[in-house]
Amino acid sequence: MTPEAKERIDNLLKQNKILVFMKGTKLMPMCGFSNNVVQIMNTLGVPFHTVDILEDPELRQGIKEYSNWPTIPQVYVNGEFLGGSDIMIELYQKGELQQMVEVALAS
């Protein structure tokens, strides 16, 4: 990962309490896994920002190295990597995700 890509990711994480690196946008997800995450966030009714990694190959590869996680989407809350679609579904079903995002938004 280039230093520029790392700095860009760092800045995005600092600027957004809930950030999703995904394929497509929250209005038009371009894969089922990204759509799952968008639907969960919409159900929780929380503000979140998305980054379309399909528009930027450097960022697409960089975020995988940054998190040491090979797949997209990737969800960050308060700068902390939570996981991808499967982990988000699990956290949501357990009721843990709601609490995590409420704490993040209150901070």
* Domains in the chain: boundaries: 3-106
Q: Which fold has domain 3-106?
A: Glutaredoxin (3.40.30)
List the pLDDT tens digit at each of the 107 positions of the chain.
889 999 999 999 999 999 999 999 999 999 999 999 999 999 999 999 999 999 999 999 999 999 999 999 999 999 999 999 999 999 999 999 999 999 988 88
Q: Indicate yes or no: pTM above 0.75.
A: yes
Q: How far apart are CA 29 and CA 15, in angstroms?
A: 22
**Closest listed residue to residue 23, CA positions, set 67, 48, 54, 58:** 54
Pairing mode, strands 80-83 and 18-22:
unpaired
